[in-house]
């Protein structure tokens, strides 16, 4: 409908419609990538989002879309391609009144891509820079559509980077902070944090605590499916392999492979 309206409007009205279309495509792309784990579809949708952002001449939306496209090669270990897209995202951000939250989120996105590509030292530096941006703030207002990032999400990003870097005690602290800060409606993000926390506890040699955190993630996944959250739970289960015969791990397996969870995972 939005695309149809674009062909029938002009001037300020066309710009407003294009902004709405860009945001809609961006949200759809996020669902396809993070919720459904369909990167090819997400790439096509995000391309449409970028085209609509161009129609609206909205450089900040363009920066957000381009940063989302960086996740696709970044999660696949294609560092150079992800880096190029982040350069483009930062270029677009410089063209508009980018708020501290937007700039910090760009750091967090690049940090996650660097982590997935095995460059955790670079990722930790980016997280530190993002924390500085949020602490200092600036005079620019954060766009209303940027509602997926704040200090709570940055703490979750930080915990994951520290986990991958092998800084397990620091990772546990960051993840616990994230859990305390996450608002009640952040159910999907909570599954990711619990999954990472489970992996941290496993790395520290605490299978009971790891299984408890993983089960908390599964509790939420039973209510709201989130493919990225399930990925983190599976990572935790792999980390629990040395304790596979322990009662707590077998109980986790019963939860992980019950009918509902197994069907949901296979269906997606």
Predicted confidence (pLDDT) per residue in 45-67, tens digit: 999 999 999 999 999 999 999 99
**104/219 same-domain check:** no
Above 80 in pLDDT, residue 132? yes
Q: For position 3, what pLDDT does the model report?
A: 79
Please give the pLDDT value at position 268: 55
145 within some domain: no
Q: Annotate 52-81 with b (16+ C-beta within 10 A) or e (fewer).
A: bbebbebbbbbbbbbbbbbbbbbbeebbeb
**End position of a domain, from candidates 122, 139, 156:** 139
CATH number, position 37: 1.25.40.10
Is the same domain home to 63 and 179? Answer: no
pLDDT digits (tens, 9 = 90+) for 140-188: 999 999 999 999 999 999 999 999 999 999 999 999 999 999 999 899 9
Q: Are residues 132 and 184 in the same domain?
A: no
Q: Give the C-alpha distances (Å, rounded to integers) separating 102 from 65, 96, 145, 166, 205.
A: 12, 11, 11, 28, 37
Report the pLDDT averaged over residues 224-245: 95
Pair 132, 179 in one domain: no
Question: Are 56 and 172 contained in the same domain?
Answer: no
Q: What range does the domain containing 182 cover?
A: 167-268
Q: Average the pLDDT over 122-131 and give the result.
A: 98
- Per-residue pLDDT for 212 more than 90? yes
User: Which pTM does this prediction carry?
Assistant: 0.91
Residue 151 lies in a domain: no
The answer, yes or no, to whether residue 99 has pLDDT greater than 80, is: yes
* N-to-C CA span, the chain: 27
Q: Region 17-29: what's the mean pLDDT?
A: 96
Q: Where does a domain end: 139, 156, 186?
A: 139
Say what the pLDDT of residue 8 is. Answer: 79
- Tell me what pLDDT residue 265 has: 60
d(CA 233, CA 210) in angstroms, rounded, equals: 10
């Amino acid at each position: 409908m939005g695309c149809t309206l674009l062909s029938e409007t002009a001037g300020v009205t066309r710009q407003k419609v294009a902004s709405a279309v860009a945001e809609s495509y961006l949200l759809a792309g996020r669902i396809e990538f993070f919720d459904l784990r369909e990167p090819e579809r997400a790439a096509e949708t995000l391309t449409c989002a970028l085209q609509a952002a161009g129609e609206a001449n909205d450089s900040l939306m363009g920066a957000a879309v381009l940063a989302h496209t960086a996740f696709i090669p970044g999660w696949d270990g294609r560092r150079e391609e992800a880096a190029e897209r982040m350069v483009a995202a930062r270029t677009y951000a410089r063209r508009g009144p980018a708020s501290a939250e937007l700039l910090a989120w760009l750091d967090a996105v690049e940090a996650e891509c660097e982590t997935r590509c095995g460059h955790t030292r670079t990722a930790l530096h980016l997280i530190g820079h993002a924390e500085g941006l949020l602490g200092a703030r600036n005079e620019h207002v954060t766009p209303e559509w940027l509602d997926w990032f704040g200090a709570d999400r940055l703490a979750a990003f930080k915990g994951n980077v520290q986990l991958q870097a092998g800084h397990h005690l620091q990772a546990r602290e960051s993840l616990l902070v994230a859990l305390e800060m996450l608002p009640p409606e952040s159910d999907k993000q909570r599954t990711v944090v619990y999954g990472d926390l489970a992996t941290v506890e496993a790395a520290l040699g605490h299978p009971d605590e790891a299984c408890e955190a993983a089960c908390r993630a599964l509790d939420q996944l039973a209510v709201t499916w989130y493919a990225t959250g399930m990925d983190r739970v599976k990572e935790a289960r792999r980390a629990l392999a040395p304790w596979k015969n322990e009662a707590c791990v077998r109980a986790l397996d019963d939860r992980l492979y019950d009918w509902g969870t197994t069907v949901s995972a296979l269906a997606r």
